[in-house]
Homo-oligomer: A and B are copies of this chain.
Amino acid sequence: MSTAVTRADGRALDQLRPVTITPGWSEPAEGSALIEFGSTKVLCTASFTEGVPRWLKGQGTGWVTAEYAMLPRATNSRNQRESVKGKLGGRTHEISRLIGRSLRAVIDTAKLGENTIVLDCDVLQADGGTRTAAITGAYVALAQSLDWARSRGIVPAAVNPLSGSVAAISVGIIDGAVMLDLPYEEDSRAETDMNVVTTGTGEFIEVQGTAEGAPFRRAELDGLLDLAIQGTAELTRLQNEALAQAGVSL
């Protein structure tokens, strides 16, 4: 990979920002993690409750959903609260749906039984990559909440609803160079921007690539995917370390 291009924060093109995962940050939640990708900080909580929404009752399967939001001053200029506007914006809806889909891909809702898990991902500070940090942190909160439920027998200890792990990273092309994990400054001038969600074994759950400036070619797409898989592999390792340290058995 070319090293001629230099990044503002001195990272190599294929290097993640410093990543910190603090499992159990929230006292009241059944599972939680404060995840940091550089200056991006997202608080992820998993709320585990017995029972499912009315329309799912009696089918023996559980329900997993996610909500994403940003504090008004998470960014350099203040954004009006969506609660004050009285409606959710399109971006909020879109990211909430992405997080929910990504985590449902590794959970077997039949094994979960008639239980509900709500994943809340609240961005406390935003510097690019908030949706990928949210997915990566939400997995840790989810795993912790399942450990909580299995240790109490709400889900039988012998049953593991998780079929694998999930991590996500952004990649992009700037001045023709393919780069990993874009902070806001890079993201805003990327020609192509891609978010990739994979399992811990490197298979794809979601691939979303967008031409921001000019359309992109197949070879560029391939380069982006290669780099993303390398990034999520590293995040998988950090997730496992965090869960081990928190005493969560998977």
Contact = CB atoms under 8 A, between A and B. Distances in A.
Interface of A: 26-29, 32, 39, 43, 45, 47, 49, 67, 69, 71-78, 81-94, 96-97, 101, 105, 118, 120, 122, 124-125, 164, 194, 198-199, 203-211, 215-218, 221, 225
A90 B83 contact: no
Given A83-B81, A118-B78, A124-B43, A215 B205 contact: yes
Nearest to A199: B215
B204 A209 contact: yes
Contacts of A194: 207
A49 B27 contact: no
Given A216-B204, A221-B207, A45 B28 contact: no
A221 B75 CA distance: 35
A225 B218 contact: yes
Contact of A208 (B47, B105, B208): B208
Contact of A27 (B39, B89, B92, B118): B39
A124 B206 CA distance: 29
Contacts of A94: 90, 93-94, 97
Dominant SS at the A interface?
mixed
9 contacts: A28-B75, A81-B83, A86-B87, A93-B93, A194-B207, A204-B209, A204-B215, A207-B209, A208-B209
A105 B211 contact: yes
Nearest to A85: B83
A41 to B, nearest CB: 9
A208 B122 CA distance: 25
B72 A67 contact: yes
A78 B49 contact: yes
A73 B120 contact: yes
